[in-house]
Structure 1
Amino acid sequence: MREGRIIKGIGGFYYIDYDGITYECKARGIFRKNKMTPMVGDYVVFSVTDEEKLLGMIEEIKERETELIRPPVANVDQAIVVFAITQPDPNLALLDRFIVLAESQRLEIAICINKIDLADEEEQAKLKKIYEATGYPVIFTTKENKASIDEIKKLLAGKTTVFAGPSGVGKSTLLNRIQSNLVLQTGEISAKNARGKHTTRHVELIPLQSSGWVVDTPGFSSLTVDFMEVEELSDTFREFDEYREGCQYLSCIHENEPRCGVKTAVEEGDIPQSRYTSYLQLLEEIRKNRRY
């Protein structure tokens, strides 16, 4: 038996990295019977069925430290969420959704705002103010700016990172700049609707020269939070933490309660209105899902 890590899964075949050698494996039927599907990022025990052809069978899936639903990937240390400042225009509600998902898995988070050469400094300052208030690193990038690329490289070193965002924001282009021997397919923005075309067709774990791994994922357009409880949501908004002491009730969910420190902080401009609006939208979505 050997232990390795799933780096790609396509059509029922799982590709496992074992000391730099990739084996093509199938999963035993017992996993399907137990309603457990191997995921990219899983550490597994596998047997070799054909050494010459590098074929094998997955025998055991090790316990997962983290598990993301969309993109489906296990054992990730951090998330770098990539959005474009324009072309396509940033969907802040979608960005906030991914942050909530990453927070729920206790991942480290960094925010990358790409294509800043296409927008003025005022627009950059607006986004910086909103997201630096969260405490997350905010990196402004262009594919030609070496300093910003180097900053991302430092974050990636020695970690497994999910590198995600909507289609067309430049994820694959940035990854190609981060490591020159990567040949990832890049795409264009549809002139008709200003939305990105999908260029990554599957989730894949890519080894980095800095000893880390990065996951290049298909672009996503929606993320559900139906796995969360109403009381848990505010814990995923870090900027709320310092204002909770101003809440009259320990169980305050920062919506309709009197004397709410978080609502006061929003009114006074200490918490960005867009973030609070995202919170309320997600709160209502969780409630709605609980009714069905």
Structure 2
Amino acid sequence: MFPPQFGYRRAESADEAIALLAEFSDRDVRLLAGGHGLLPDLKAGREAPDVLVDVGGVDDLRYVDAGSGAVAVGALTTYADAVESGPLWSRATAFAEAVSHVGDVQIRNRGTVGGNLAQADPSADPPAAALVSEATLVARGSDGRREIDAADFFGGDGETALRDGELLTEIRLPDAGGEDAGDETAGGAYVKKTHPASGYALVGVAAVVAVEGGSVTDARVAVNGVTDPPRRLAPVEAALEGESADAESVATAAGRADEGVDAAAAVSDSYASGAYRVDVLPVHVRRALETALDRATGAAATPAGPPHRSAVADGGDRR
């Protein structure tokens, strides 16, 4: 199917992209980055914008900057470039691991971290990791610059906190999942139940766990693929914080994963029913917490980079 006719403008810088969004503020405008979400929607007729603003050549938003206290990722950084960043793995492990699960080689070479977050697909891998990383998303528009907490960014049904005319420019990730803070150590992880054909997450769980003196001092757990929008699992976090950093505590906390998650309202499609997703959620919460805890305590090493996977067998989200 051919998409309806639309206008096309190409931006060479973030400032030019913002100016184009302002110029066409009275039109239906879409931003084109990697295009793996937008182009299929255009072809299927699910999207029919008046104008496409192509930001694929905006190189000033492609970077991973390991600054003091946080790692900043430019919104147009490709998945491939992001997961090759050692500081991202050591300082924001859950987020790096989630990004490494996206797509095959071709998708990772073209798709962008910011595009994934802005698309806000409930089955995408990075959003849950952004939540447990307590990321800050930076947006710029003609009215200036805004910082948005990840907890406030995802609105469900593909909606985000971005306003008309705004461009997502940066994702800032505070140190976690591998960094020491005094006697406290932290570990992060992302695990998923993958649909075998599409690579989408039927269930994806991101976790960050901090340990001091044999006890869990902080636990953050979020899920994607089950709820729309992705969300933190507060009952799991509350059940683990203050408890011993051991397998029994993890199992008890993971057993509360489905509390407050309504199977009737869960994501349900041709890939899997909502009831199935909720049913397998506790297992994947336990696996994510076990991995994060092992990395926090030193029982397992924090990865220094992405695993070596084939383009066919990597089991990633095929966007």
TM-score (normalised: structure 1) = 0.27
Q: Which has the higher contact order (CA 8 A, sep 6+)?
A: 2
The structure having more radius of gyration, on CA atoms, is 1
